[in-house]
Amino acid sequence: MKRLIFVPMVLMLFFVTQLEAFATNSNAPNHWGFNKGKNEQPAQAGAKLDEMTKKHGALYKGSSEKKEIYLTFDNGYENGYTANILNILRRQHVPATFFVTGHYLKTTPELVVRMVREGHIVGNHSWSHPDMTTKTDDVIRNELQKVKEETERITGQKTMNYLRPPRGIFSERTMAIANQEGYTHIFWSLAFKDWIVDQQKGASYSYNEVMKQIHPGAVLLLHTVSKDNAEALDSIITDLKKQGYTFKSLDDLMIEQQIENPMLY
């Protein structure tokens, strides 16, 4: 009789252990990264990250068959350059997505209003820019909800569909929660170290980094705190247009993905 009781207990312990392992693995942090594009060949994130993005409907690049670019900016705080960036985008008729934090919404609401008024998308970069994998489910939901509600309050934008995870850190759990809240993760396939404000290297550095990595379908990440980016942006856009590239919005990218992969959505 004791032996019969022992076997179910062993099985129960096994399943508990497996469930604990699954829970731990689902929150294992991942740091976004990729092999950079060059010679107009797309960046590659690798099998593991490709599988995760596909599973959760996330995106980091568009079609490699079309010379289209998706311009995105991360806005954690204002450094005096965003107004000029918006001027360039308006003059060049280029759409962009700005991923904003709570700090940005609170300190420069007039710029966020202008983004929406001029036809750009405002996306979610979390309220306080934490490592989401260290936060509970409820805290993550609150981080996202506060950004959405404050953006709607100051701009009237009622929907918020795109999320860029703070610090580029994410997990299976955080991606699943974002999906439940109606968000698509937007990563990137072209970026460089542009956010350290006291280590700017000149407009030519920003220009060259973009040009050597550019590829069809690129999701380009720039930080608006960068003086280099602000000074190089007009030339970047002008010269990419000369190379036959067109600038599209993330909404265009989503429509394209839905047509190509209808079962994902």
Catalytic positions, written as ranges: 74, 223
Segment 131-135 long-range contacts (CB within 8 Å, at least 24 positions apart): 131/29, 131/166, 131/167, 131/169, 132/165, 132/166, 132/169, 132/170, 132/171, 132/174, 133/27, 133/28, 133/29, 133/169, 133/170, 133/171, 133/173, 133/174
**Identity at 84, one-letter amino acid code:** N
User: In whole angstroms, what is the distance from residue 44 CA to residue 60 CA?
Assistant: 10
CB 183 within 8 A of CB 163: yes
User: In whole angstroms, what is the distance from residue 221 CA to residue 210 CA?
Assistant: 10
CB 150 within 8 A of CB 102: yes
**Identity at 220, one-letter amino acid code:** L
Question: How many residues belong to the chain?
Answer: 265
User: In whole angstroms, what is the distance from residue 146 CA to residue 127 CA?
Assistant: 6
Q: Cβ contacts of residue 223 below 8 Å, gap of 6+?
A: 73, 74, 76, 194, 195, 229
Which position has the token pair 């306080």? 128
Kindly provide the residue ranges of all beta strands, DSSP E only, lying in the chain, ordered along the sequence: 30-31, 68-75, 97-100, 121-124, 162-163, 169-170, 184-185, 218-223, 246-248
